[in-house]
Amino acid sequence: MINDRNQFCFRLKQARQEAKLKQEAVARYLQIPISAVSAYESGHRKLDANELFMLSKLYKKPMDWFFNDKPDYMFISGGQSGEIDDPLLNECMQLLKKAPKHLRHSAAYGVIGFLSER
């Protein structure tokens, strides 16, 4: 799991580049200044959970990809997922998958908000 802010910022930039998007396009999509996108990628500005959710959709990456140092470690796509080494995390993921969509998003936002404060 990525716990270093620099690594997270690297993943933000990597995802944008893999999506073949310029910072200008991302800024238009998020309706923010280009300088804010640059600040996110350089670690000079915190990204809120909603913006990360929007970027995950734009970049076509699961939200956990930005926090995971092994991108192929876990996929959540089309209702399928890989197994996680940690039984507690595995149980959490299984419960999230079974929850109604609005609760899954609320729980994800809560976790992201909690972890981004660390």
Q: What is the pLDDT at residue 84?
A: 59
pLDDT digits (tens, 9 = 90+) for 23-35: 999 999 999 999 9
Sorted by where each starts, the structural domains of the chain and their CATH numbers stand as 5-116 (1.10.260.40)
Question: Would you say 59 and 25 are in contact if contact means Cβ atoms under 8 Å apart?
Answer: no
Residue 33 vs residue 98, higher pLDDT: 33
Coil vs helix vs strand at 76: strand
The string of pLDDT tens digits covering residues 40-87 is 999 999 988 889 999 999 999 888 888 876 544 344 433 444 555 667
Sorting pLDDT into bands at 50, 70 and 90, what band is 6?
Answer: confident
Q: Whole-angstrom Cα distance, residue 61 to residue 65?
A: 6
Residues 8-23 have pLDDT tens digits of 899 999 999 999 999 9
* Helix spans in 1-118 (H): 5-18, 23-30, 34-42, 49-59, 87-98, 101-116
